[in-house]
Structure 1
Amino acid sequence: MRPTPPPTPPLKGRGFKREAASAVVSGYARDHRRNPTEPELRLWRHLSGSKRGGFKFRRQYVSGSRILDFFCPAIALAVEVDGHTHDADTDFVADGILKTAGITTIRVSNYDVMTNMEGTLLSILSVAQTCPARWKQSQ
């Protein structure tokens, strides 16, 4: 008969905290998908279903500890819709972190989305067309 191995030592909170934090962020993202702001809802109507240049976007995408308003995984492009409460310095730091992860970020204002949708969409499409593909497209 084989001896029973000793019990595995606890993770000292390292693994649990990461999983718990990820679950919390995912929960926030789910809530944001269920209750989007009006500008996000309007922009999503134009980005969903690969309507713009064939780029497929996801909404409220979780990347690490951040929730991206819209994200195109094929080209690693994040679109953030910013209201008047956004802090430019904080956004600059967040964009830098995303850049080190290979994600390009474009920021559009609530005002532009609500008053100039075509201009906003053209701006997003022009940036999307300059982003390199992350993987080869199967033919």
Structure 2
Amino acid sequence: MRSARLFERTRSRDLRREQTPAEAILWGKLRARRLGGFKFVRQEPIGPYFADFTCRDAGLIIEVDGATHSTDEERAYDARREAVLREAGYRVLRFSNDEIFKNLDGVCETILSALPPVPSPRETGRGLG
């Protein structure tokens, strides 16, 4: 079992190092709680798959699709993959590279609308007063 975790860790690191330009741009908006205060991680192993970006607290996965998601076979693979991720308790949002390059603000708004409202500091007991 230890070797399986080592493989996941190594593969996640490789995927992060080899991110696409679209993933790098979106990561710039998601990292360090920059989008609505939510923590996202990259290349999270979930079942046999690696999710591009995952917000564990919100149960949300963001997938960035290049041109390789256009054939019937590729779309069928994506559907099977999404079914496994949904079974693991996640919702999946997909964006094309083109959407990220041409409408990054719209992509971020769509992601924000899929996230739950963040409680105010007063609600969490961390506020002043």
TM-score bin (small chain): 0.7 to 0.9
Deviations 1:10-62 (A, max 9, x none): xxxxxxxx543443233221111122110000000001111111111011111
Please name the residue that 1:134 is paired with.
none
Match of 1:133 in 2: none
Which 5+ residue runs of structure 1 have no aligned equivalent? 1-17, 131-136
Aligned to 2:95: 108
CA-based RMSD: 1.7
Aligned residue number for residue 60 of structure 2: 77
Structure 2 length as normaliser, TM-score? 0.81
Question: For residue 54 of structure 1, what is the aligned residue in structure 2?
Answer: 37
User: Greater helix percent: which structure?
Assistant: 2
Question: Which one has a bigger Cα radius of gyration?
Answer: 1
Look up the match of 1:6: none
1:23 aligns with 2:6: yes
How many angstroms does 1:95 deviate by? 0.8
1:34 equivalent in alignment to 2:21: no
Normalising by structure 1, we get a TM-score of: 0.76
Residues in 1 aligned to 2:85 and 2:112: alpha-carbon distance in whole angstroms: 20
Cα 1:94–1:68 change in 2 (3 A) is: same
Give ranges in structure 2 of 5+ residues lacking alignment: 118-122
Compute the displacement of 1:94 (Å).
0.8
> Contact (CA 8 Å) 1:22, 1:65: kept in 2 or not?
no
State the distance in 2 between where 1:138 and 1:68 align: 29
Instruction: List, as ranges, runs of 4+ consecutive aligned residues in structure 1 with deviation greater than 2 Å.
Output: 18-26
Query: Percent of aligned pairs with the same residue?
Result: 34
Aligned amino acid, residue 128 of structure 1:
L
Contact 2:23 2:64 (C-alpha < 8 Å) held by counterparts: yes
Question: Contact (CA 8 Å) 1:58, 1:71: kept in 2 or not?
Answer: yes
SS across alignment from 2:95: strand
